[in-house]
Structure 1
Amino acid sequence: MSVQSSSKPLRVALWVAQTLIFIAFILFGCMKLFLPVQQLASMWVWPGEVPEWFLRLMGAIDVAGGVGILLPALTRIQPRLGVLAALGCVVLQLAAIMFHSSRGEFAALPLNFILLALVSFILWGRGSKAPIAPRGQNV
Protein backbone atom coordinates (compact mmCIF):
# COMPACT_ATOMS: atom_id res chain seq x y z
CA MET A 1 0.00 0.00 0.00
CA SER A 2 1.42 3.37 -0.91
CA VAL A 3 1.66 6.37 1.37
CA GLN A 4 -0.80 8.26 -0.81
CA SER A 5 -3.49 5.59 -0.48
CA SER A 6 -3.49 5.70 3.33
CA SER A 7 -5.63 8.26 5.10
CA LYS A 8 -4.18 11.57 6.18
CA PRO A 9 -5.46 11.19 9.80
CA LEU A 10 -3.66 7.83 10.03
CA ARG A 11 -0.42 9.31 8.70
CA VAL A 12 -0.66 12.24 11.13
CA ALA A 13 -1.41 9.89 14.05
CA LEU A 14 1.61 7.77 13.13
CA TRP A 15 3.91 10.82 13.02
CA VAL A 16 2.57 11.93 16.40
CA ALA A 17 3.10 8.45 17.86
CA GLN A 18 6.61 8.24 16.41
CA THR A 19 7.48 11.64 17.86
CA LEU A 20 6.10 10.74 21.29
CA ILE A 21 8.03 7.46 21.32
CA PHE A 22 11.18 9.24 20.18
CA ILE A 23 10.88 11.76 23.03
CA ALA A 24 10.04 9.15 25.67
CA PHE A 25 12.74 6.67 24.68
CA ILE A 26 15.42 9.35 24.31
CA LEU A 27 14.47 10.89 27.68
CA PHE A 28 14.38 7.60 29.59
CA GLY A 29 17.42 6.27 27.73
CA CYS A 30 19.54 9.32 28.50
CA MET A 31 18.47 9.17 32.13
CA LYS A 32 19.57 5.53 32.34
CA LEU A 33 22.81 6.29 30.51
CA PHE A 34 23.94 9.44 32.27
CA LEU A 35 22.30 9.93 35.67
CA PRO A 36 24.00 8.48 38.75
CA VAL A 37 22.57 5.14 39.84
CA GLN A 38 21.65 6.55 43.26
CA GLN A 39 19.61 9.33 41.68
CA LEU A 40 17.76 6.86 39.46
CA ALA A 41 17.20 4.51 42.41
CA SER A 42 15.48 7.36 44.25
CA MET A 43 13.03 7.72 41.34
CA TRP A 44 12.62 4.04 40.44
CA VAL A 45 13.39 1.06 42.65
CA TRP A 46 15.06 -1.28 40.16
CA PRO A 47 18.15 0.74 39.06
CA GLY A 48 19.72 0.27 42.48
CA GLU A 49 19.06 -3.48 42.39
CA VAL A 50 20.60 -4.43 39.04
CA PRO A 51 24.22 -4.27 37.87
CA GLU A 52 25.19 -0.85 36.55
CA TRP A 53 26.15 -2.33 33.16
CA PHE A 54 22.56 -3.62 32.81
CA LEU A 55 21.12 -0.18 33.60
CA ARG A 56 23.43 1.51 31.06
CA LEU A 57 22.67 -1.16 28.44
CA MET A 58 18.95 -0.54 28.88
CA GLY A 59 19.62 3.16 28.37
CA ALA A 60 21.52 2.51 25.15
CA ILE A 61 18.73 0.24 23.90
CA ASP A 62 16.13 2.91 24.70
CA VAL A 63 18.10 5.57 22.82
CA ALA A 64 18.61 3.27 19.83
CA GLY A 65 14.90 2.47 19.78
CA GLY A 66 13.90 6.12 19.94
CA VAL A 67 16.28 7.10 17.14
CA GLY A 68 15.26 4.08 15.07
CA ILE A 69 11.56 4.87 15.37
CA LEU A 70 11.93 8.36 13.93
CA LEU A 71 15.17 8.96 12.01
CA PRO A 72 14.69 6.50 9.10
CA ALA A 73 11.18 7.86 8.50
CA LEU A 74 12.29 11.49 8.64
CA THR A 75 15.24 11.00 6.30
CA ARG A 76 13.48 8.39 4.14
CA ILE A 77 16.79 6.52 4.15
CA GLN A 78 16.04 2.84 4.76
CA PRO A 79 12.60 3.64 6.28
CA ARG A 80 11.94 -0.09 6.84
CA LEU A 81 14.48 0.18 9.67
CA GLY A 82 11.81 2.15 11.52
CA VAL A 83 9.50 -0.85 11.30
CA LEU A 84 12.26 -3.07 12.70
CA ALA A 85 12.86 -0.53 15.47
CA ALA A 86 9.15 -0.61 16.28
CA LEU A 87 9.29 -4.41 16.47
CA GLY A 88 12.29 -4.17 18.79
CA CYS A 89 10.46 -1.65 20.97
CA VAL A 90 7.43 -3.96 21.18
CA VAL A 91 9.72 -6.76 22.40
CA LEU A 92 11.41 -4.35 24.81
CA GLN A 93 8.10 -3.27 26.33
CA LEU A 94 6.91 -6.87 26.69
CA ALA A 95 10.17 -7.68 28.48
CA ALA A 96 9.77 -4.60 30.70
CA ILE A 97 6.23 -5.64 31.61
CA MET A 98 7.45 -9.12 32.56
CA PHE A 99 10.42 -7.68 34.48
CA HIS A 100 8.34 -5.22 36.50
CA SER A 101 5.54 -7.76 37.08
CA SER A 102 7.98 -10.37 38.36
CA ARG A 103 9.34 -7.83 40.84
CA GLY A 104 5.90 -6.66 42.00
CA GLU A 105 6.52 -3.17 40.55
CA PHE A 106 2.96 -2.77 39.33
CA ALA A 107 3.07 1.04 39.46
CA ALA A 108 5.46 0.95 36.46
CA LEU A 109 3.09 -1.07 34.29
CA PRO A 110 0.69 1.66 33.07
CA LEU A 111 3.55 3.51 31.34
CA ASN A 112 4.83 0.26 29.82
CA PHE A 113 1.35 -0.56 28.49
CA ILE A 114 1.00 2.94 26.99
CA LEU A 115 4.40 2.64 25.33
CA LEU A 116 3.50 -0.87 24.13
CA ALA A 117 0.28 0.42 22.56
CA LEU A 118 2.11 3.26 20.80
CA VAL A 119 4.93 1.11 19.41
CA SER A 120 2.44 -1.58 18.35
CA PHE A 121 0.45 1.09 16.50
CA ILE A 122 3.64 2.28 14.78
CA LEU A 123 4.60 -1.30 13.88
CA TRP A 124 1.17 -1.95 12.39
CA GLY A 125 0.84 1.41 10.67
CA ARG A 126 4.34 1.77 9.21
CA GLY A 127 4.56 -1.94 8.52
CA SER A 128 1.42 -2.23 6.42
CA LYS A 129 -1.06 0.65 6.38
CA ALA A 130 1.09 3.76 5.81
CA PRO A 131 4.68 2.79 5.07
CA ILE A 132 7.24 5.48 4.33
CA ALA A 133 8.60 5.32 0.78
CA PRO A 134 12.40 5.31 0.51
CA ARG A 135 14.00 8.48 -0.79
CA GLY A 136 13.87 8.67 -4.56
CA GLN A 137 11.05 6.13 -4.85
CA ASN A 138 7.77 7.54 -6.08
CA VAL A 139 4.66 5.79 -4.80
Structure 2
Amino acid sequence: MHLALWISAGLLAVVALVGGITKTFVGKEKLAAHHGGEWTAHVGAGFVKTLGILELLAAAGLILPAALDVVPVMVPVTAACWILLMIGAMITHGRLGQFNLVMLNSAYLALAAFITWGRLVPETFN
Protein backbone atom coordinates (compact mmCIF):
# COMPACT_ATOMS: atom_id res chain seq x y z
CA MET A 1 0.00 0.00 0.00
CA HIS A 2 2.87 2.33 0.85
CA LEU A 3 4.28 1.89 -2.68
CA ALA A 4 0.87 2.44 -4.28
CA LEU A 5 0.51 5.69 -2.34
CA TRP A 6 3.95 6.88 -3.46
CA ILE A 7 3.17 6.02 -7.09
CA SER A 8 -0.18 7.81 -6.86
CA ALA A 9 1.43 10.87 -5.31
CA GLY A 10 4.11 10.85 -8.00
CA LEU A 11 1.59 10.62 -10.83
CA LEU A 12 -0.54 13.38 -9.35
CA ALA A 13 2.56 15.53 -8.78
CA VAL A 14 3.48 15.19 -12.47
CA VAL A 15 -0.05 16.22 -13.47
CA ALA A 16 0.13 19.21 -11.12
CA LEU A 17 3.60 20.16 -12.35
CA VAL A 18 2.64 20.09 -16.03
CA GLY A 19 -0.60 21.98 -15.39
CA GLY A 20 1.16 24.47 -13.16
CA ILE A 21 3.94 25.18 -15.65
CA THR A 22 1.42 25.56 -18.45
CA LYS A 23 -0.88 27.93 -16.56
CA THR A 24 1.98 29.95 -15.09
CA PHE A 25 4.17 30.40 -18.16
CA VAL A 26 1.89 30.10 -21.22
CA GLY A 27 -0.17 33.12 -22.16
CA LYS A 28 -3.90 33.11 -21.49
CA GLU A 29 -4.73 33.64 -25.17
CA LYS A 30 -2.64 30.64 -26.21
CA LEU A 31 -4.27 28.48 -23.52
CA ALA A 32 -7.75 29.57 -24.64
CA ALA A 33 -6.99 28.42 -28.19
CA HIS A 34 -6.43 24.79 -27.12
CA HIS A 35 -8.97 22.12 -26.21
CA GLY A 36 -9.47 22.11 -22.47
CA GLY A 37 -8.21 25.65 -22.09
CA GLU A 38 -11.28 27.45 -23.39
CA TRP A 39 -12.29 28.36 -19.85
CA THR A 40 -9.34 30.74 -19.64
CA ALA A 41 -11.07 33.10 -22.09
CA HIS A 42 -13.68 33.82 -19.40
CA VAL A 43 -11.34 34.63 -16.50
CA GLY A 44 -8.52 37.06 -15.82
CA ALA A 45 -4.89 36.30 -16.55
CA GLY A 46 -4.07 36.73 -12.86
CA PHE A 47 -6.55 34.01 -11.93
CA VAL A 48 -4.99 31.59 -14.44
CA LYS A 49 -1.48 32.32 -13.16
CA THR A 50 -2.65 31.95 -9.55
CA LEU A 51 -4.06 28.51 -10.35
CA GLY A 52 -0.77 27.65 -12.03
CA ILE A 53 1.22 28.65 -8.96
CA LEU A 54 -1.14 26.66 -6.73
CA GLU A 55 -0.60 23.63 -8.95
CA LEU A 56 3.17 24.05 -8.75
CA LEU A 57 2.89 24.21 -4.96
CA ALA A 58 0.68 21.10 -5.03
CA ALA A 59 3.33 19.22 -7.04
CA ALA A 60 5.89 20.07 -4.38
CA GLY A 61 3.46 19.41 -1.51
CA LEU A 62 2.64 15.91 -2.73
CA ILE A 63 6.28 14.78 -2.71
CA LEU A 64 8.71 16.97 -0.78
CA PRO A 65 7.27 16.86 2.76
CA ALA A 66 7.46 13.07 2.84
CA ALA A 67 10.71 12.76 0.88
CA LEU A 68 12.47 15.25 3.14
CA ASP A 69 10.61 14.09 6.28
CA VAL A 70 9.60 17.68 7.04
CA VAL A 71 5.96 17.91 8.18
CA PRO A 72 4.86 14.84 6.16
CA VAL A 73 1.24 15.47 7.17
CA MET A 74 1.28 18.11 4.42
CA VAL A 75 1.03 15.34 1.81
CA PRO A 76 -2.59 14.38 2.69
CA VAL A 77 -3.42 18.05 3.30
CA THR A 78 -2.16 18.89 -0.20
CA ALA A 79 -4.10 15.95 -1.65
CA ALA A 80 -7.26 17.16 0.09
CA CYS A 81 -6.75 20.62 -1.41
CA TRP A 82 -6.30 18.97 -4.81
CA ILE A 83 -9.73 17.37 -4.35
CA LEU A 84 -11.24 20.85 -4.00
CA LEU A 85 -9.36 22.05 -7.07
CA MET A 86 -10.65 19.09 -9.09
CA ILE A 87 -14.24 19.74 -8.02
CA GLY A 88 -13.86 23.26 -9.41
CA ALA A 89 -12.29 21.92 -12.60
CA MET A 90 -15.10 19.39 -13.04
CA ILE A 91 -17.73 22.11 -12.64
CA THR A 92 -15.92 24.40 -15.08
CA HIS A 93 -15.44 21.74 -17.76
CA GLY A 94 -18.97 20.44 -17.22
CA ARG A 95 -20.41 23.89 -17.92
CA LEU A 96 -18.48 23.93 -21.20
CA GLY A 97 -19.74 20.46 -22.14
CA GLN A 98 -16.27 18.93 -21.95
CA PHE A 99 -17.33 15.70 -20.31
CA ASN A 100 -14.17 13.84 -21.30
CA LEU A 101 -12.24 16.37 -19.19
CA VAL A 102 -14.75 16.00 -16.36
CA MET A 103 -13.97 12.28 -16.35
CA LEU A 104 -10.22 12.94 -16.41
CA ASN A 105 -10.56 15.37 -13.49
CA SER A 106 -12.63 12.79 -11.60
CA ALA A 107 -9.77 10.30 -12.04
CA TYR A 108 -7.36 12.88 -10.58
CA LEU A 109 -9.84 13.47 -7.76
CA ALA A 110 -9.95 9.73 -7.05
CA LEU A 111 -6.14 9.59 -6.87
CA ALA A 112 -6.11 12.54 -4.48
CA ALA A 113 -8.81 10.94 -2.33
CA PHE A 114 -6.78 7.71 -2.20
CA ILE A 115 -3.68 9.65 -1.11
CA THR A 116 -5.62 11.66 1.47
CA TRP A 117 -7.25 8.59 2.98
CA GLY A 118 -4.16 6.40 2.70
CA ARG A 119 -1.79 8.84 4.36
CA LEU A 120 -4.18 9.89 7.12
CA VAL A 121 -5.51 6.48 8.10
CA PRO A 122 -3.58 3.27 7.36
CA GLU A 123 -0.17 4.37 5.97
CA THR A 124 1.25 7.42 7.68
CA PHE A 125 4.90 8.22 7.12
CA ASN A 126 5.82 7.73 10.77
- Partners of 2:39 and 2:92 within 8 A in 1: no
Are 1:37 and 2:37 an aligned pair? no
From 7, 21, 29, the counterpart of 2:12: 21
From 100, 104, 112, the counterpart of 1:111: 104
Across the aligned residues of Structure 1 and Structure 2, the Cα RMSD in angstroms comes to 1.2
Structure 1 residue runs without a partner (length 5+):
1-9, 134-139
Kindly, what percent of the aligned residue pairs are identical? 27
CA distance in 2, matches of 1:14, 1:99: 28
Alignment of 1:71-82 (within 5 A): 71-82=64-75
Are 1:120 and 2:113 an aligned pair? yes
Deviation, structure 1 residue 26: 0.7
Deviation, structure 1 residue 115: 0.5
Structure 2 residue runs without a partner (length 5+):
none
CA distance in 2, matches of 1:52, 1:108: 21
Are 1:50 and 2:36 an aligned pair? no
Instruction: Report the residue type matching 1:79 in the other structure.
Output: P
Aligned pair count? 124
Larger-Rg structure: 1
